[in-house]
Amino acid sequence: MCEIPIEKKCTKCHIVKSIDEYHAAKKGKYGKSATCKLCFRKWQINNSEHLAEYKRIYGVKNRKKISQVQKLYALKNKESIREQKKKYEHENKDRITKQRAQYYLATKPLRNLASSEYYHKNKETLAAQQKEYRKENREKIKEYQNKYQEENREKIKEYSKKYNEENKEYIADYGKKYREDNKEVITIRDKKRMNIYRDNLTDSYIKSLLCDNSKIPRECIPQEMIELKRLQLKIKRELENQKWM
């Protein structure tokens, strides 16, 4: 077996260079390419368009083969690939973040368009899926909403206040139109709601009774008065129940 030399002459620039200055090549002499890395790089730059077209055509013709090779390589080198990726992301954290932000902004109109088209094509299917999900995860959704509201109380309050101020006319017009289009539904809903309030003697229900019997504004009614009125109603109901027994 031939001993691998320490140096080798480049066939392009004709300069004797260290054997490490040459790329590995299975068919090359001593397992190295004939041209040095620097000359090969210059050739790549000068023929970038030709190489790009060649790669594109080769990729189209050998799509399955390339996919199989990539999958096989990924399986054999799973750990090393993970480590390389982790190292690269750590060393280029700012660059990656900037690239992702630029890509996100550049592709936002396309994503919005695609999402809109997909939604309109699959509106009924998506509605059914969402309904089914809410039905199966009712407790989970409720727990998440309560937790989010508790942790973001001030944020939600500020957002609601800002939104209401910026959309006063729209909210008023929408509410007016909704009430006109859904008079019967609103009447039935309000009736059911009032029955629930009455049966449970809520603060809101008791305030409405106190306001009807006096000129005191709702916001000025003290809690003590509400509690006394609630107790009075409870006693009254208890007496009525005993009367009919």
230 assigned to some structural domain:
yes
pLDDT at 67: 93
Q: What is the mean pLDDT of residues 241-245?
A: 71
pLDDT at 239: 85
116 assigned to some structural domain:
yes
164 band by pLDDT with thresholds 50, 70 and 90: very high
Count of structural domains, the chain: 2
Q: What is the mean pLDDT of residues 158-164?
A: 93
100 assigned to some structural domain:
yes
Query: For the segment 127-158, what is each residue's pLDDT rounded down to a tens digit?
Result: 999 999 999 999 999 999 999 999 999 999 99
196 assigned to some structural domain:
no
Checking DSSP bridges between strand 32-36 and strand 22-24, what pairing results, if any?
Answer: antiparallel
- Distant-in-sequence, close-in-space partners of 13: CB < 8 Å, separation ≥ 6: 35, 36, 38, 39
pLDDT at 58: 93
Q: Is the pLDDT of residue 245 over 70?
A: no
Q: What is the mean pLDDT of residues 2-14?
A: 86
Which residue, 86, 121, 156, sits at the end of a domain?
121
**More confident call, 201 vs 241:** 201
Q: Is the pLDDT of residue 219 over 90?
A: no
pLDDT at 2: 59
223 assigned to some structural domain:
yes
Q: What is the mean pLDDT of residues 111-124?
A: 91
Share the mean pLDDT of the chain: 90
- What region does 23 belong to: left with phi over 0, alpha with psi -120 to 50, or beta? beta
97 assigned to some structural domain:
yes
Per the CB < 8 A criterion, the answer to whether 2 and 8 are in contact is no
Instruction: Say how far apart CA 202 and CA 195 lie, in whole Å.
Output: 11
**More confident call, 210 vs 57:** 57
180 assigned to some structural domain:
no
Instruction: Say how far apart CA 9 and CA 13 lie, in whole Å.
Output: 8
Which residue, 88, 121, 154, sits at the end of a domain?
121
Of 88-97, 122-131, 220-229, the range with the lowest mean pLDDT is 220-229
145 assigned to some structural domain:
no
Q: Which domain holds residue 82?
A: 77-121
- What region does 64 belong to: left with phi over 0, alpha with psi -120 to 50, or beta? alpha
pLDDT at 244: 64
Which residue, 90, 121, 152, sits at the end of a domain?
121
Query: For the segment 21-69, what is each residue's pLDDT rounded down to a tens digit?
Result: 999 998 888 889 999 999 999 999 999 999 999 999 999 999 999 999 9
**More confident call, 92 vs 217:** 92
pLDDT at 166: 93
